Structure 1
Amino acid sequence: MLTVDFTRFPLAPGDRVLDLGCGAGRHAFECYRRGARVVALDRDGAELREVARWFAAMAEAREAPAGASAAAVEGDALSLPFPDDGFDVVIVSEVMEHIHDDKGVLAEAVRVLRPGGRIAVTVPRYGPEKVCWALSDAYHEVEGGHIRIYKADELVGRIRESGLRPYGLHHAHALHAPYWWIKCAVGVDNDRSPAVRAYHKLLVWDIMKKPLATRLAERLLDPVMGKSVVVYATKPHEGGR
């Protein structure tokens, strides 16, 4: 399940890509399949070992074209172990809502992005996230949980303040918003709930089969209740050219 729309955020074979806060690696895997030279960075060593295992499996199955590469690196989003201007593309997906110094995360992302490079930033959308917070304290009052809710214009403002130039915005995953509302209503750890299990089965079916009906429904509902907001931006060349 991809949050970044690669039709709006094109990659070229050989692009140097940083998936900053990669989590389980979904965007890193897609970039690798598209021929990029990918670095997946996260602070969770156990999750990174699983990402590295999947990279190896993809290479063995020849799922990535010749010239592509992939590495999993443990590191801190506020102190990236990379030189300035080292990446053509940076993805920061569902990360900033977890970190107190979100401006620091963006500053590091800008530092390692080359002039003219592209960045995609995604966070939970204000409306659906507000419902989750209202239904359940356990949803966000946990270690490593969400510490803030962004409005779209606030996120765009943060991105502009960091020196980037936004060029696109959209919402994603409308069908996932009700799933989290149900979980928050019955207990975020209550995976035995019949409603949670039924809706989860629907989401898995949708992801695996990609039926036209749910694709059309999500396209119609994303502007209204999409769970994530996605902003695309570029790093200007020196002098703003």
Structure 2
Amino acid sequence: MLTVDFDRLGVGPGTRFVDVGAGAGRHSFEALRRGADVTAVDLDEVAMKDVADMFAAMAEAGEVPAGGAARAEVADVLHLPYPDGGFDVVLASEILEHVPHDEAAIAELVRILKPGGTLAVTVPRWLPERICWALSDEYHANEGGHVRIYRADELRRKVERNGPEATHRHHAHALHAPYWWLKCAVGVRRETHPLVRAYHRILVWDMMSGPAMTRLTERALNPLIGKSVALYFRKAR
């Protein structure tokens, strides 16, 4: 389940790509499948070990094009151990809403992006997120949880203050918004609730099968209730 448009990012063979706050690695895996030179970075040591294991499994299965390479590293978004301008593409997907000092994190993302490179940032969209917060404190008020709700223009201005110019915006994952509203309504930890289980099965079926009907439905609903907003920026040369 990808939140960003990899064609818009221009990720291909040899692209120096860093996935900051990589989590389980879904975007890193896609970049590696496209032959990029991938760095997945996150604070979670266990997650990064799992991502490294998946990188190795992909290579063994012949899923990595010639020249593709990948590594998983543990680091803090506020102190990234990479040189200025070290990456062609920098991605930070669903991470800034967790970071108390988000403007310092944004400055780091811009610092490691090369002049002329592309930065993509995704966060939960204001309206779906606002509904989740209204329905459940447990959804966000926990260790490592969401510390703010962004309006897209607010986030755009924060990034542009560091130099990059916004180039595009879109929304994603409309079918996931009602799922999270449902979870917040019945209790975010009640994974076995019949309605939650039923909706989850639909989402898994959609992700595995990609049927045209749900793809078209989600595309139509994304501008209205897309769970995430993705913003793209270009750093001046």
Shorter-chain TM-score bucket reads over 0.9
TM-score when scaled to structure 2? 0.99
Q: Which amino acid is 1:8 matched to? A: R
Q: Please say if residues 78 and 105 of structure 2, whose CA atoms lie closer than 8 Å, have aligned partners that are also in contact.
A: yes
In 2, Cα distance between the equivalents of 1:87 and 1:144? 27
> 1:73 matched to which residue of 2?
73
Q: Secondary structure at the match of 1:8?
A: helix
> 2:16 matched to which residue of 1?
16
> 1:156 matched to which residue of 2?
156
> 1:198 matched to which residue of 2?
198
Q: Which amino acid is 1:176 matched to? A: H
- Structure 2 matches for 1:35-46, cutoff 5 A? 35-46=35-46
Q: Secondary structure at the match of 1:139?
A: coil
> 1:63 matched to which residue of 2?
63
Q: Which amino acid is 2:79 matched to? A: S
In 1, Cα distance between the equivalents of 2:153 and 2:221? 20
- Structure 2 matches for 1:78-227, cutoff 5 A? 78-227=78-227
Q: Please say if residues 58 and 64 of structure 2, whose CA atoms lie closer than 8 Å, have aligned partners that are also in contact.
A: yes
- How far did 1:8 drift? 2.1
* Paired residue total: 237
Q: Please say if residues 86 and 113 of structure 2, whose CA atoms lie closer than 8 Å, have aligned partners that are also in contact.
A: yes
Q: Which amino acid is 1:29 matched to? A: F
In 2, Cα distance between the equivalents of 1:191 and 1:66? 41
In 2, Cα distance between the equivalents of 1:8 and 1:210? 21
Q: Which runs of at least 4 in structure 1 moved beyond 4 Å after TM superposition? A: none
Q: Which amino acid is 2:76 matched to? A: D
In 1, Cα distance between the equivalents of 2:16 and 2:125? 28
- How far did 1:172 drift? 0.2
- How far did 1:202 drift? 0.2
- How far did 1:179 drift? 0.4
TM-score when scaled to structure 1? 0.97
In 1, Cα distance between the equivalents of 2:7 and 2:19? 18
Q: Secondary structure at the match of 1:217?
A: helix
In the alignment, structure 1 segments of 5+ residues that lack a partner are none
In 2, Cα distance between the equivalents of 1:231 and 1:152? 8
- How far did 1:14 drift? 0.1
In 1, Cα distance between the equivalents of 2:11 and 2:140? 34
Percent identity, aligned pairs only, is 58
- How far did 1:7 drift? 2.7
Q: Secondary structure at the match of 1:7?
A: helix
Q: Secondary structure at the match of 1:174?
A: coil
Q: Please say if residues 9 and 89 of structure 2, whose CA atoms lie closer than 8 Å, have aligned partners that are also in contact.
A: no
In 1, Cα distance between the equivalents of 2:121 and 2:138? 25
In 2, Cα distance between the equivalents of 1:168 and 1:108? 21
